[in-house]
């Protein structure tokens, strides 16, 4: 039976949030997006995989990526295609995501594409955490308005790069994931209009979802160039679903000399009963998200950009090459993070970006280093 354009099987269910078909965004903003992000690592710091996919209904596109760092090599497969209305079947070319048990278990498959393949199953170790809404403006214009949930967990399965196979077992392989949707810059660049007032001088960002044996920690902090904290969202989640707020953390980031690449951080939180809770974090391996990952500042590939139907490509970088190393401090970096807290060892994501001026760090402009 023919179906009117826009309607899909999802419209049979009472899940509508606006007087529109489910597959149509409630906002007409071209930057509306709906995306998943995953990472996986084996705690050695030898290999780190980051992957995800996104739908951009007002751009008519969808895309996916699978990014791996091994030693000094960082390589990524990019996939893109026209959007479709079958949102229960999440796929972009040979990349697909199967929701086995909502909010608990997910399977990610990449059929062999440009020498990279994967079949990985995620199991959440703790309940998902709904993060605070995140809003950014440039003058009166909204540049980011997003909702997100986060989770830490374990992986099982395998992936391969150029014939090298990696067996992934949950006793060793851990990671974090998030789902986010809303508005953020995606797709082709558009005319900027009048210059921003005040001029954008940078931002300082810290995101640390960390898995311990008994609990999950998730800290999200964003600061303006003068150190004003515009986002502070810090929680501890227990296996039984209890959620504790962890106050206003104090953070001391340690940077490698002559860089803005952190080697670790000391984060001091406060529990609800007023006691200090200290987390020591160290970096085991760094992956600049804007070098093949498509995130802000990536000059080679960006989320939501139309590349034609059935698009695939692979890009590979030598992280030590001068032209690549020079890009690193102008974007957000994801690290394999090892942490200690309350006598426990934890593993997860240590994500940090010190972009432009940040007075508390002593960065006076875009080019100051430690």
pLDDT band for position 197 (cuts 50, 70, 90): confident
Distance CA 341, CA 277 (A): 7
Per residue in 223-251, pLDDT (tens digit) is 999 999 999 999 999 999 999 999 999 99
Residue among 367, 55, 356 at smallest CA distance from 223 = 356
Q: Does residue 61 carry a pLDDT above 50?
A: yes
Q: Does residue 321 carry a pLDDT above 50?
A: yes
Q: What is the mean pLDDT of the chain?
A: 95
Percentage of the chain lying above the pLDDT 70 cut: 99
Question: What confidence score (pLDDT) does residue 198 get?
Answer: 81
- 0.85 cut: is pTM over it? yes
Domains annotated for the chain, with CATH where assigned, are 31-185+199-361 (2.40.370.10)
Q: Which residues pair with 311 in a beta bridge?
A: 80
Q: What are phi and psi of 11, to 5 degrees?
A: -70, -5
For residue 160, what are the contacts with CB-CB under 8 A and spacing of at least 6? 112, 116, 117, 118, 166
Q: Does residue 189 carry a pLDDT above 50?
A: yes
C-beta neighbour count of 201 within 10 angstroms: 15
Question: What confidence score (pLDDT) does residue 218 get?
Answer: 98
Pairing of strands 134-138, 116-124: unpaired
Q: Which residues pair with 50 in a beta bridge?
A: 39, 67
Question: What confidence score (pLDDT) does residue 1 get?
Answer: 46
Per residue in 108-164, pLDDT (tens digit) is 999 999 999 999 999 999 999 999 999 999 888 899 999 999 999 999 999 999 999
Question: What confidence score (pLDDT) does residue 190 get?
Answer: 86
Residue among 33, 31, 114 at smallest CA distance from 79 = 114
Contact 355, 204 (CB under 8 A): yes
Q: Does residue 222 carry a pLDDT above 50?
A: yes
Question: What confidence score (pLDDT) does residue 6 get?
Answer: 82
30-43: average pLDDT: 96
């Amino acid at each position: 039976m023919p179906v009117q354009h826009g309607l899909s099987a999802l419209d049979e269910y009472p899940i509508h949030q606006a007087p529109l078909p489910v597959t149509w965004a409630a906002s007409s903003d071209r930057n509306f997006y709906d995306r998943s992000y995953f990472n996986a690592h084996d705690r050695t710091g030898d290999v780190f995989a980051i992957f995800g996919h996104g739908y951009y209904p007002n751009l008519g596109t969808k895309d996916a990526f699978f990014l791996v760092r091994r030693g000094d090599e960082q390589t990524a497969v990019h996939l893109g295609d026209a959007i479709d209305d079958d949102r229960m079947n999440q796929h972009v070319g040979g990349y697909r995501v199967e929701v086995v048990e909502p909010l608990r278990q997910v399977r990610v498959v990449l059929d062999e594409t440009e020498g990279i393949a994967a079949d990985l199953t995620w199991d959440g170790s703790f309940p998902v955490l709904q993060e605070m809404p995140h809003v950014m403006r440039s003058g009166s214009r909204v540049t980011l308005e997003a909702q997100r949930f986060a989770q830490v967990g374990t992986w099982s399965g395998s992936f391969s790069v150029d014939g090298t196979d990696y067996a992934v077992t949950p006793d060793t392989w851990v990671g974090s994931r998030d789902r986010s949707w809303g508005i953020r810059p995606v797709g082709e660049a558009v005319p900027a209009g009048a210059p921003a007032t005040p001029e954008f001088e940078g931002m300082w960002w810290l995101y640390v979802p960390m898995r311990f044996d008994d609990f999950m920690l998730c800290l999200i902090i964003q600061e303006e160039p003068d150190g004003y904290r515009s986002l502070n969202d810090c929680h501890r989640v227990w296996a039984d679903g209890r959620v504790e707020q962890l106050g206003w953390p104090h953070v001391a980031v340690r940077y490698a000399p002559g860089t803005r690449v952190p080697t670790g951080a000391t984060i001091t939180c406060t529990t609800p009963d007023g006691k200090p809770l200290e987390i020591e974090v160290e970096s085991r391996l760094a992956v600049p998200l804007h070098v093949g990952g498509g995130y802000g500042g990536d000059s080679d590939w960006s989320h939501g950009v139309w590349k034609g139907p059935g698009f695939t490509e692979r890009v590979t970088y030598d992280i030590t090459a001068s032209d690549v190393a020079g890009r690193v401090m102008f974007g957000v970096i994801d690290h394999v993070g090892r942490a200690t807290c309350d006598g426990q060892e934890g593993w997860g994501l240590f994500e940090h970006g010190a972009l432009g001026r940040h007075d508390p760090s002593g960065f006076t402009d875009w080019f100051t280093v430690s």
